[in-house]
Structure 1
Amino acid sequence: MARQEEAPGRGWGSRIRHLAGSLNNRKTGYMTLFGFSSGLPYALLLGTLTAWLTDAKVDLETMGVISLIGLAYAFKFLWSPMLDRLSIPGLVRIGRRKQWIVSAQILLGIMLIGMAQMDPNAAIGLFSLFAGVGALASATQDVVIDAWRVDVADEEATLDTLSTVFQLGYRAAVLVGGALSLFMADAWGWMPVYTLMGVILLVVGFASLFAPDSEAAAVVAGAPEVLRQPGQLNPKIRAAALGLVGTFWAVSLGIVFYYMIASLALDKADRPDSASFIKVQGPIIVLATVVIPAIIAAVLARMQANGRHVLDHPEPARTLADRAMDHGYRALILPLIDIMGRLGWAAVLVLALVLSYRLTDTIWGSFASPFYLDELGYTKSEMAVASKFFGVGALMLGVALGGVMMATVGRMATMTLGAITAALTNLLYADLSTGGTVMAATARATGFTWAVEHFGGDERMAKLMLAIGGENIAGGLAGAALVAYLSSITSKGYSAVQYALLSSLTFLVGTLGRGALGKMIETQGYYAVFLFTTALGGIAVVLCVLEWMRGSRGERAA
């Protein structure tokens, strides 16, 4: 198991020295690099790309269809079992995880350079294909990098430190791929920008060849021959479970691919509605890929623990079908059995926490731009300065603060504080929605207004920057703690599948709830919405405290 104890008895001086040693570790440096390589394509393909398409005069309907490449990130867990178990012919010698990381980075570099040579209007089909392949490569890279972090963590390069520097690298890449790329495009045009970004990823891919990799010993769990030994579940039971879960996952993949293909229909009237898909099909996909398989895994774990339907003598695989079933079972079912078996009934608490922890951020995030522009009346340039530059800096400060706090006061203490501040900072926006009296007074009292005015701003800009800064510091702190927490509850033998599933769940409820929140904004206004999201954040606070108590009891028992 990847979890590291928080060593409550260690003194502050010792903890600070340990943190300094972690930051000087080779693994930490590569984790920062991997964070950068993870954030850069995400920013370029899902954010900056729309600015390029706008400049190219591509119509909004087509832009909406191209944006469907973002589904690769939402459903990356569907192909994560393959990444955990399969190797690329000829590249496995690079390393178990590195073979996928390096391949994805090189493929991303090639896709970005290829896109740079195209005119989106003249070759929109090929352009979209390159962007789609890039998104798949980027999502695949994310799965394997998350698994790499869990695999290589040790007593010196701890999960908390690796999670923090990953976030710092990721946020730096978002700044480079977002705001900096926009400025460069204004000066040079889009071709040089995307070419440069592609070259950067190719260089990163070469540098990744020299990164440490996970040990082969991490993958021995659930080897096919072990599944046929006494005490293991009967092959017929395992085959039935694999058939059920495999069918559910296949149906989910079919739904996603059908939606993507249908959205490319030439007749716009035949294209499915994105909001309806997320609202109707989203819960079905989650039930089919997470909830039902988790229940099946829990039943199987209970069966084996109680000695029911298990082998009392070795039963070797005799046919190709037997061997295929064993491989499918260890790739798809064993990761779920492992996590359900370890957590037991606590899995309900853990899943509830994962689903709710970032709810206050994700549910209203897509309404930030209309709030700044339409409700508050700021210009796009003012929003860019406050959100993209100052906001990203505040976010990175929050991530760094989270890393220091995890090293000094512990992971769950940091996570609980992150949940509290993430909820309360919604009140900063509630104040802005009613005129920003408190924000303006606070900015004046702290000298923040004076500093902003010396850089050409005014009090109106200062109160916006203060609110965004406060929320982003809280978000950075909470984000760093969440990545470390998710990593801590995954096993090294199944890290790719387990982390991909858990990380996908963190944005699920917020994404599905945006339609209802949009209606609430229309009927009740932003002030009521921010009070509501603050209250929602209280759920995560309560669950954090309960999980903190559970973890403390487990450590005392150990």
Structure 2
Amino acid sequence: MVESNANTSGQSGKGADAVHTKAGAAPSGWRLFLTAFTNRKSGIMLIYGMAAGLPYALLLGTLYAWLGEVGVDLETMGVFSLIGLAYAFKFLWSPLVDKGRVPLLWRLGRRRSWLLPIQAMIGLVLITLSALNPQTSLGLFSLLAGIAAFASATQDIVIDAWRVEVADEAAPLEVLSSIYQLGYRLAALAGGALALVAAARVGWPQVYFGFGMFMMVAMLATWFAPDTRHAHEQAVESGAGIAARLSVKVRSLALAAVGLLWGWALVTVLVYMVRSLASDPELRPDATAFIRLYGPLIVIATVVVPALIAGMLDSWLRSGRYLAAAGEDAPRPFLDHTFRALVEPLMEMVGRLRWAAFLVLGIVLSYRLTDSIWGPFALPFYLQELQYTNDEVAFASKFFGVGMTMLGITLAAALFTFIGRMPTVILGAIVAAASNLLYADLAQGGAWLDAFGRITGLYWFAAQFGVDDRLARLLLAITGENLSGGLAGAAFVAYLSAMTSKSHAAVQYALLSSLTVLVGSLGRAALGERIEQVGYAPVFFLTAALGLIAVALCVADAVRQRRVAKPVGT
């Protein structure tokens, strides 16, 4: 049986977004690159990337600077432990976002009906925060920040699904993924470094008010964005779907098992949230301990076991066992709708990928592992270990580094159009692993970096701007790391998007991306302990070696995809 990956060709473009070529040939190379970047969907994707990155930057990082300035004890801000959880466990409410209808707004479209109220909520919360005094209204301030964080995570679910669903030949999925990453990084820069600069001049309330207004402006892009309407979704899902072909008893038992597991996970997370909002900081649970203990259990309950159930159901469906008998085809709205929301996304993915589902899972868990666990240790490495100043690190990592990341993302978009998705994904895995060697050399004194900088003339060039060799060494390492990180990040988003189906994009992408966040959170404690034991350089050599696992898995999947795409008889 020939297997196919979702989203390899996309939907046909229509109207202004269609590609008009001779004999219907799809564009390639520079023509595809330029066409994609001048497409209406690409412009909307850039705004969506900024709308997704801005709340994360403002709520997870910048807000601490505001509170620190007014003398608020950050230990009292227990709600901020919820922000990371919102992004790590967003898949728990993704079925509702994927299949649920927003009252009164659902006629606007499958995704617009969710995005409009969510973006309005985020914008209004940011504007409201600008009108509050954190010292006198800390409780309300914390609650609103938590609400905005969960709204932001929900917005991510919708935007990720929209990107998969609207991709076509004029706006390829890989290019849309790169543009999303570019917008996200621009928002991170605006909500981070630029917010700090602006706050020193106009004050924090004005900064948050301005960013709140941006979220309101983003609603205009949502209003004009193309979308899949619910009527089309119902037409696609009606007829001989999975829910209609299996017997009612089998569907009911499978739904009961999966529903109980997801229900336990959701209640566990909600209980933790409530406990984190306790007025006494001593009574609040530790976020790191919670993720370390319950993270794997929640993944097993909501991904591993349901995937095994989905595989079993798919096997029965293929073998003709436990199919619906005559007379069982009467509509059962609640059973069918809930089955499609909870069970069918995994069943579709397992049935489509078959054994390759394990390969995809391995790539998801390993591809961004080194970056996701390394992030929290970057500043201590620069400041305490290498003794760079705050100003030097701010310039190198926040301004210069962000520029290099954006250049890496742009490079990824170009590579997608010239060499294709999987070669770019493989290259991203290679450079991401190799960049760890730059930091290993930096931790050992930078002999190889210095040799490269002097031979190529980069140190001489940096000296013309008053940069000494010591700072140039850091800039060179950050250039390599951020270029590779931007390329690998865009490649990974494109890969995840390609592994999802248009009919179940919200749930499938949320599951895969959440696993990446969770594995990073689980690995940080072990990495920190290892750094304490052996130092930074050996750890960087270790993470570079771990990166080779992702390279090998990506090569294996590229071979698999080539074999699947190969015409029969060739």
TM-score, with normalisation over the residues of structure 2? Answer: 0.93
Q: Say if 2:76 and 2:281, in contact at 8 Å, map to a contact too.
A: no
Secondary structure in structure 2 of the residue aligned to 1:378? coil
Q: Deviations over 1:42-91 (max 9, x none)?
A: 11111111111111212131245424222111111111111111121221
Please name the residue that 1:93 is paired with: 107
Asked if 1:306 corresponds to 2:319, the answer is yes
Once the two structures are overlaid, the 10-residue window that deviates more, 190-199 or 207-216, is: 207-216
Q: Say if 2:247 and 2:322, in contact at 8 Å, map to a contact too.
A: yes
Unaligned runs of 5+ in 2: 11-24
Q: Say if 2:122 and 2:152, in contact at 8 Å, map to a contact too.
A: yes
Please name the residue that 2:232 is paired with: 217
Q: Which amino acid aligns with 2:319?
A: N
* Structure-to-structure mapping, 1:410-421, within 5 angstroms: 410-421=420-431
Q: How far apart are residue 249 of structure 1 and its match?
A: 0.8
Q: Say if 1:425 and 1:471, in contact at 8 Å, map to a contact too.
A: yes
Q: Say if 1:151 and 1:218, in contact at 8 Å, map to a contact too.
A: no
Q: Say if 2:7 and 2:502, in contact at 8 Å, map to a contact too.
A: no
CA distance in 2, matches of 1:403, 1:153: 14
Q: Which amino acid aligns with 2:263?
A: A
Please name the residue that 1:264 is paired with: 277
Q: Say if 2:109 and 2:227, in contact at 8 Å, map to a contact too.
A: yes
Q: Which amino acid aligns with 2:106?
A: V
Percentage of matched positions with identical amino acids = 53
Once the two structures are overlaid, the 10-residue window that deviates more, 323-332 or 467-476, is: 323-332
* Structure-to-structure mapping, 1:225-264, within 5 angstroms: 229=244, 232-264=245-277
* Structure-to-structure mapping, 1:120-159, within 5 angstroms: 120-159=134-173
State which of 454, 457, 465 in structure 2 corresponds to 1:444.
454
Secondary structure in structure 1 of the residue aligned to 2:566? helix
CA distance in 1, matches of 2:266, 2:510: 15
Please name the residue that 2:555 is paired with: 545
State which of 2, 7, 11 in structure 2 corresponds to 1:3.
7
Q: Deviations over 1:243-278 (max 9, x none)?
A: 111111111111111112222333333222222212
Q: Which amino acid aligns with 1:474?
A: S
Secondary structure in structure 2 of the residue aligned to 1:507? helix
Q: How far apart are residue 185 of structure 1 and its match?
A: 0.5
Secondary structure in structure 2 of the residue aligned to 1:534? helix
Q: Which amino acid aligns with 1:401?
A: L
Q: Which amino acid aligns with 1:532?
A: L
State which of 48, 60, 84 in structure 2 corresponds to 1:34.
48
Q: How far apart are residue 218 of structure 1 and its match?
A: 4.3
Q: Say if 1:220 and 1:493, in contact at 8 Å, map to a contact too.
A: no
Please name the residue that 2:508 is paired with: 498
Please name the residue that 1:520 is paired with: 530
Q: Which amino acid aligns with 1:288?
A: A
Q: How far apart are residue 327 of structure 1 and its match?
A: 1.4
Q: Say if 2:79 and 2:142, in contact at 8 Å, map to a contact too.
A: no
RMSD value, Cα: 2.0
Q: How far apart are residue 219 of structure 1 and its match?
A: 5.0
CA distance in 2, matches of 1:313, 1:243: 23
Q: Which amino acid aligns with 1:294?
A: A
Q: Say if 1:394 and 1:473, in contact at 8 Å, map to a contact too.
A: yes
Q: Say if 1:429 and 1:467, in contact at 8 Å, map to a contact too.
A: yes
CA distance in 2, matches of 1:493, 1:74: 23
State which of 213, 216, 235 in structure 2 corresponds to 1:199.
213
Please name the residue that 1:60 is paired with: 74
CA distance in 1, matches of 2:450, 2:135: 46
Q: How many residues align?
A: 550
State which of 298, 306, 309 in structure 2 corresponds to 1:296.
309
Q: Which amino acid aligns with 1:481?
A: A
Please name the residue that 2:287 is paired with: 274
Judging changes above 3 Å, is the alpha-carbon distance between structure 1 residues 401 and 228 closer, same or farther for their aligned structure 2 residues? closer
Please name the residue that 1:177 is paired with: 191
Q: How far apart are residue 142 of structure 1 and its match?
A: 0.7
Q: How far apart are residue 377 of structure 1 and its match?
A: 0.7
Q: How far apart are residue 499 of structure 1 and its match?
A: 0.7
State which of 189, 192, 208 in structure 1 corresponds to 2:222.
208
State which of 371, 394, 400 in structure 2 corresponds to 1:384.
394
Q: Say if 1:22 and 1:28, in contact at 8 Å, map to a contact too.
A: yes
Once the two structures are overlaid, the 10-residue window that deviates more, 505-514 or 129-138, is: 505-514
CA distance in 1, matches of 2:503, 2:112: 16
Q: How far apart are residue 317 of structure 1 and its match?
A: 4.6
Q: How far apart are residue 532 of structure 1 and its match?
A: 0.5
Judging changes above 3 Å, is the alpha-carbon distance between structure 1 residues 545 and 113 closer, same or farther for their aligned structure 2 residues? same
Q: Which amino acid aligns with 1:151?
A: E
Q: How far apart are residue 431 of structure 1 and its match?
A: 0.9
CA distance in 1, matches of 2:27, 2:111: 35
Please name the residue that 1:555 is paired with: 565
Asked if 1:286 corresponds to 2:295, the answer is no
Please name the residue that 2:19 is paired with: none
CA distance in 2, matches of 1:435, 1:306: 62
Q: Say if 1:233 and 1:304, in contact at 8 Å, map to a contact too.
A: yes
Please name the residue that 1:76 is paired with: 90
Please name the residue that 1:358 is paired with: 368
CA distance in 1, matches of 2:327, 2:238: 14
Q: Which amino acid aligns with 2:232?
A: A
Q: Say if 2:78 and 2:277, in contact at 8 Å, map to a contact too.
A: no
Once the two structures are overlaid, the 10-residue window that deviates more, 507-516 or 452-461, is: 452-461
Judging changes above 3 Å, is the alpha-carbon distance between structure 1 residues 30 and 124 closer, same or farther for their aligned structure 2 residues? same
Q: Say if 2:36 and 2:172, in contact at 8 Å, map to a contact too.
A: yes
Q: Say if 1:224 and 1:330, in contact at 8 Å, map to a contact too.
A: no
Once the two structures are overlaid, the 10-residue window that deviates more, 95-104 or 233-242, is: 95-104
Secondary structure in structure 2 of the residue aligned to 1:154? coil
Judging changes above 3 Å, is the alpha-carbon distance between structure 1 residues 376 and 219 closer, same or farther for their aligned structure 2 residues? farther
Unaligned runs of 5+ in 1: none
Once the two structures are overlaid, the 10-residue window that deviates more, 499-508 or 139-148, is: 499-508
Secondary structure in structure 2 of the residue aligned to 1:435? coil
Please name the residue that 2:57 is paired with: 43
Q: Which amino acid aligns with 1:535?
A: A
Q: Say if 2:367 and 2:550, in contact at 8 Å, map to a contact too.
A: yes
CA distance in 2, matches of 1:462, 1:12: 44
Q: Deviations over 1:500-551 (max 9, x none)?
A: 1111112332220111111110010001100110010010000001000000
Judging changes above 3 Å, is the alpha-carbon distance between structure 1 residues 452 and 187 closer, same or farther for their aligned structure 2 residues? farther
CA distance in 1, matches of 2:402, 2:233: 36
Judging changes above 3 Å, is the alpha-carbon distance between structure 1 residues 314 and 492 closer, same or farther for their aligned structure 2 residues? farther
Please name the residue that 2:486 is paired with: 476
Q: How far apart are residue 406 of structure 1 and its match?
A: 1.0
Judging changes above 3 Å, is the alpha-carbon distance between structure 1 residues 62 and 153 closer, same or farther for their aligned structure 2 residues? same
Judging changes above 3 Å, is the alpha-carbon distance between structure 1 residues 395 and 228 closer, same or farther for their aligned structure 2 residues? closer
Judging changes above 3 Å, is the alpha-carbon distance between structure 1 residues 14 and 85 closer, same or farther for their aligned structure 2 residues? closer
Q: How far apart are residue 12 of structure 1 and its match?
A: 13
CA distance in 2, matches of 1:317, 1:121: 60
CA distance in 2, matches of 1:13, 1:278: 46
Q: How far apart are residue 226 of structure 1 and its match?
A: 5.0
CA distance in 2, matches of 1:327, 1:12: 37
Q: Which amino acid aligns with 1:211?
A: A
CA distance in 2, matches of 1:456, 1:249: 57
Asked if 1:325 corresponds to 2:329, the answer is no
